[in-house]
Amino acid sequence: MNKTVAIDKVVGNVQLGDAPEQNIDSAINEVLKLIANNEFEPSTRNRTPSADTIEKINHNQLQGKSAIIRQYLKHSKKVEASFSTIDSTIPFGKAKVLNNLNDLYYEALDFVEIEYFTGEIDIEEVKQNSCLIIEFIIEKLKNTAYASKNKPSLKEDLDLGINVVVAHAFIECVVLENPLCCQ
């Protein structure tokens, strides 16, 4: 068996074996674990979104991601409780997670090549790319969650947690655009 690796023109570090970030805890994973460990109370009826939520979904043309909003509505109490608890275990834990989500939003804007740095964000471009932007944020969070030391033990908990945290960030106007700012 040949154990030789040929590397040509590399920018940055080359890791052979475990990546260093796998030995570091992540604030988002603490929230995901709290959500997973919070008791689930099955609801016999579905909560309907508020008028503000429906307006945000319509404003951002996010109908293609309504499923994560529905998940959030089912688990919103768990998300709120988890965010309340995270601040007691990690200083400014909720703010760190929400700031990270906001940073990922701007990375997503870069990814879809929407200008934001020199002026106002073109809401029409955001609308055209809203589902892709949300998917970008979800995938980046999954990568962080899987690469960190303190990940939840079940994939289903991780997937659900990421979906509801991203939906929470959308509801709180941390990601995508608030219809009130564009009137």
pLDDT at 25: 67
Q: What is the spatial distance between Cα 136 and Cα 5, in angstroms, rounded to a whole number?
A: 31
Confidence of residue 114 (pLDDT cuts 50, 70, 90): very high
Q: What is the spatial distance between Cα 53 and Cα 75, in angstroms, rounded to a whole number?
A: 15
User: What mean pLDDT comes out for the span 100-116?
Assistant: 94
The torsion angles phi and psi of 18, rounded to 5 degrees, stand at -65, 140
pLDDT tens, position by position, 86-100: 888 888 888 999 999
Torsion of CA 43, 49, 50, 56, to 10 degrees: 150
Q: What is the spatial distance between Cα 128 and Cα 10, in angstroms, rounded to a whole number?
A: 35
User: What mean pLDDT comes out for the span 46-61?
Assistant: 80
pLDDT tens, position by position, 153-177: 888 888 989 999 999 999 888 888 7
What single-letter amino acid sits at 103?
A: D
Contact status, residue 166 vs residue 138, Cβ threshold 8 Å: yes
pLDDT at 183: 45
Residue 182 has pLDDT above 50, yes or no: no
pLDDT at 53: 80
Task: Judge if pTM exceeds 0.85.
Answer: no
pLDDT at 125: 93
Q: What share of the chain in percent tops pLDDT 70?
A: 83
List the structure tokens of 150.
């303190």
Residue 54 has pLDDT above 90, yes or no: no
pLDDT tens, position by position, 13-38: 666 666 555 556 678 778 888 888 77
